[in-house]
């Protein structure tokens, strides 16, 4: 499921980018194994989004929550 959400990150524009970011946040809470499969490709993209949207209330906060979760996952520690 996270692979599909990751694809949406590429396809969305500024008006809809919050949808896959929020979905990724919620799905990341449920499946650490799925996160491990996509984190190495998604992390740079998410960091790029954070650089652009860091001051946005919803997207910036969701991205920070994703990074916090992922850094606590053993399988993602090498990425962060």
Domain boundaries, the chain: 17-76
pLDDT tens readout for residues 5-57: 888 888 999 899 999 999 999 999 998 998 998 898 899 999 999 999 989 88
Report CA-CA distances (Å) from 80 to 9, 38, 58, 66.
Answer: 20, 14, 22, 12
DSSP 8-state code for residue 34? H
User: The whole model's pTM is what?
Assistant: 0.87
Nearest-angstrom CA–CA distance, 37 and 14: 26
- 41 CB contacts (<8 Å, ≥6 apart)? 6
Average pLDDT, the chain: 90
Q: Which of these, 10, 25, 23, 18, lies nearest to 59 by C-alpha position?
A: 18
């Amino acid at each position: 499921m996270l692979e599909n959400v990751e694809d949406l990150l590429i396809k969305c524009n500024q008006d809809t980018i919050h949808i896959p970011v929020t979905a990724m946040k919620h799905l990341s809470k449920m499946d650490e194994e799925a996160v491990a499969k996509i984190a190495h490709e998604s992390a740079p993209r998410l960091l790029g989004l954070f650089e652009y949207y860091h001051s946005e209330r919803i997207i910036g906060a969701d991205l920070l929550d994703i990074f916090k979760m992922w850094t606590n996952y053993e399988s993602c520690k090498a990425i962060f």
